[in-house]
Amino acid sequence: MSKKNIVYIGIGTNQGNKLTNINKAISLIEKIDSTVVESCSSIYLTKPFGYLDQDDFLNMVIKISTEKEVKHLHSELQKIEEIIGKRKTIKWGPRQIDLDILFFNNEIYSDEMITIPHKCIIERDFVLVPMVEIEPEFIHPALNIKIVDICNTVSQKQIISKIDYINQTDLIN
């Protein structure tokens, strides 16, 4: 039996039907072999980051357990992005969906395709706030600081509002 890895994935979208994009992404992640979505943060309406001349985003974080190793999981997430319709445009530009591995267990990993922990997480309240919501005691493995403490130091705020749902599990089904 393979090791269960605990992974946090940031989900963002600002094109098309944003809620549908998120629902479809979570549903497809659940279909990855030996992978379970353990928890989902709330969804946050956020201002764009970097390239500002675009629609607002919906962002959230999910926690999964998976037997997939980091490279294979990254490849699976890229396939899901393609299925939903992500196209390469400008850096930080509009997208149907963006799926980023934020943390993979407590590992520090980098190759030509991916860096874990995600290198820009400490600047992005739209990732940190949902991460704190589902795992406030998580310690950033490279910085050795709790996520909640990092969240309190972010100076540039992108979050506009939290989107409330009566039943968050509706997002998965």
Round to whole Å and give the CA distance between 147 and 145.
Answer: 6
Give the strand pairing for 57-66 and 5-13: antiparallel
Q: Which two tokens stand for residue 17?
A: 């039907």
Confidence of residue 21 (pLDDT cuts 50, 70, 90): very high
Residues near 108 by beta carbon (within 8 Å), at least 6 away in sequence? 116, 117, 141, 142
Round to whole Å and give the CA distance between 125 and 136.
Answer: 14
- How does pLDDT run across 69-123, given as a tens digit for each residue? 999 999 999 999 999 987 666 666 677 899 999 999 999 999 988 999 988 888 8
Most confident of 61-65, 85-89, 119-123, 149-153: 61-65
Q: Which domains does the chain have, with CATH numbers?
A: 5-163 (3.30.70.560)
pLDDT, position 172? 41
- Indicate if the pLDDT at residue 136 is higher than 70: yes
Distance set, CA 160 to CA 30, 72, 88, 157, 163 (Å): 28, 34, 26, 8, 10
